[in-house]
Structure 1
Amino acid sequence: MAGTLEVDRPRDGIAVVRLNRPERLNAINEAMQTELRETLADLSVDRGVHAIVLTGAGRGFCAGIDMRDFGPGMLDASAPALDRMRFQEKMAALTEAVRALPQPVIAAVNGPCVGAGFALCLASDIRICSTAASFGNAAILLGLSGAEMGMSYHLPRIVGTSVAADWMLSGRTVSAAEADRRGLVSEVVEPEALTDRAVELASLIADLSPLGVQLTKRALQVNTDAASLSSALELENRNQVISHASDEAATRRQKWSPGQTQ
């Protein structure tokens, strides 16, 4: 498993998780699948990490699953359906693990972001990319369903159902410019500036109250599917009451001045 991931701590409160198989455009093999699952589990309980950046080494973000050299766990079409379902569930669990992290996750997409890599990007809270980035749903091009690893859940909520259908049914490559225009990413920067910008954004978040940030992340996730405004307000009201009573909130109120934005 050694070497499939790099985890850096550029400053207090921030972890940069870098997929590290650049020779394969960071395609996910069995070793990376295991290491990523374990790393995300460790970060989820690390009280010293308040924001996470997910990116790729070399010129790619993630080319999806490594179809040619995944490892001994890869199954062929003749394997029992139940075994193939378990394999798919292990891949899908990576999406769930990213979404379930209490800390906000910033996907810094530095190059091709395809298939399983696209799913990890969608599960992140904030997505920024370089001008060299591109996005694609590879499964449909392989004769499979274009809906996998949460893609049919996340993508329509981010870009709308018609755009999601276009991308998922055609499997075409989406440029950084189109991704920006459709709202998939919040920012496009030059390749050499991507990591620094992601860390800068993570720093803004990491310097805030962890409780307030984590309650905000969960409210965004839950209220995206809220049945009504009243349901959304119910959760927001409770979050405000909980965070208002924290020591950190009290300290920040004492230091607050009118017009302050940071």
Structure 2
Amino acid sequence: MSFVVVEKPRPYITQITLNRPDRMNAMAFDVMVPFKEALEEVSFDNETRVVIVTGAGAGFCSGADLEDPGWLDIFDGLTVPGIARRAMKILDDVIKAIHDMHQPVIGAINGPAIGGGFCLAMATDIRIAAEGAYFRPAGINNGLTSAELGLSYLLPRAVGTSRAFEIMLTGRDVEAAEAAAIGIVSRAVPKEVLLEECYAVAERINGFSQLGVELSKQMLWSGVDAGSLHTHMNHEGHAQLFVRMTTQNFEEAIKARKESRAPDFKD
């Protein structure tokens, strides 16, 4: 059985599904290593314009696999602290792989996103949740810190500092409706239409310039990370000029508008 399923449900859309529903798609190494490999491979698939990440069964991802996290050869000969460091690096690299993908990544949050699963959801670029989904920063409930895998960086930028502090310090569940209201997800929809909603968003994005979308994603994340407005505006300007001067996208958009048709972008 493959714990990560990669398929193309629509043209130019690749769906990557965590496929261990009996364990709520927990972050065991035999799931996360092939998941990272799939992300990296799809990132360089030029027939993929948008990526959708979801979970099989009732849950999106339940975080750390407390039953059987698995073993990797890179752990051989290490003490517990050394194993922990290697393990954290593997999970960190999954989050970074999503962030670094050329394509926009839509998180189809089909059920509970707990602990590392919450972090995984927040790493995606666009999030749409099923109405029964919820988000929980579980570490604080287990005597640890809720700050892991980028959550203390990403969540305040999505919902503001006060809400992020309150959620992460109380370890409470955030139901899908509240998640939509405060900005954890774009919206909450009935579970039976979740993937169709994600496909509709992906297909709209697919209608635009591939290069323009890729650079827009890059500039959005650059803006989140920017040290100053002036520096970021300079980066934005160069990205815009690059697309404007190296493609015919702008001319095609104007021509298509005059001819009352959808533009046919080549780049």
Shift of 1:65: 1.7
Question: Does the 8 Å CA contact 2:33/2:90 hold for their aligned counterparts?
Answer: no
* Correspondence for 1:19: 18
Give TM-score, length-normalised by structure 2.
0.91
Q: Residue deviations 1:7-45, cap 9 Å, x none? A: 120122100111111111111211111110110110111
Q: Does 1:251 align with 2:236?
A: no
What is the distance in 2 between the residues matched to 1:48 and 1:259?
27
Shift of 1:218: 0.6
Q: Residue deviations 1:193-234, cap 9 Å, x none? A: 101100111111122111000110011101123233322221
Give TM-score, length-normalised by structure 1.
0.93
In the TM superposition, what are the counterparts of 1:156-171 in structure 2 within 5 Å? 156-171=156-171
Structure 1 alignment gaps of length 5 or more: none
Shift of 1:258: 9.6
> For 1:49, what is the secondary structure of its paired residue?
coil
Structure 2 alignment gaps of length 5 or more: none
Shift of 1:251: 2.8
Q: Residue deviations 1:160-213, cap 9 Å, x none? A: 111111111111111111111111111111110101100111111122111000
What is the distance in 2 between the residues matched to 1:47 and 1:108?
22
What is the distance in 2 between the residues matched to 1:51 and 1:99?
13
Distance 1:80 1:56, change over 3 A: closer
Shift of 1:248: 3.9
Q: Residue deviations 1:103-156, cap 9 Å, x none? A: 000001111011111111111110110111100011111111111001111011
What is the distance in 2 between the residues matched to 1:227 and 1:34?
33
Cα RMSD, aligned residues only: 2.1
What is the distance in 2 between the residues matched to 1:88 and 1:248?
42
Question: Does the 8 Å CA contact 1:5/1:32 hold for their aligned counterparts?
Answer: yes
In the TM superposition, what are the counterparts of 1:1-262 in structure 2 within 5 Å? 2-73=1-72, 79-245=79-245, 246-257=247-258
Shift of 1:81: 2.3
Question: Does the 8 Å CA contact 2:256/2:262 hold for their aligned counterparts?
Answer: no
What is the distance in 1 between the residues matched to 2:219 and 2:260?
26
What is the distance in 2 between the residues matched to 1:23 and 1:82?
29
Q: Which runs of structure 1 show a deviation greater than 3 angstroms over 4 or more consecutive aligned residues? A: 247-250, 257-262
What is the distance in 1 between the residues matched to 2:227 and 2:39?
30
Count the aligned residue pairs: 259
Question: Does the 8 Å CA contact 1:26/1:62 hold for their aligned counterparts?
Answer: yes
What is the distance in 2 between the residues matched to 1:190 and 1:205?
22
Percent of aligned pairs sharing the same letter? 36
Question: Does the 8 Å CA contact 2:138/2:171 hold for their aligned counterparts?
Answer: yes
Question: Does the 8 Å CA contact 1:244/1:250 hold for their aligned counterparts?
Answer: no
What is the distance in 2 between the residues matched to 1:103 and 1:139?
30
> For 2:121, what is the secondary structure of its paired residue?
helix
Shift of 1:73: 4.3
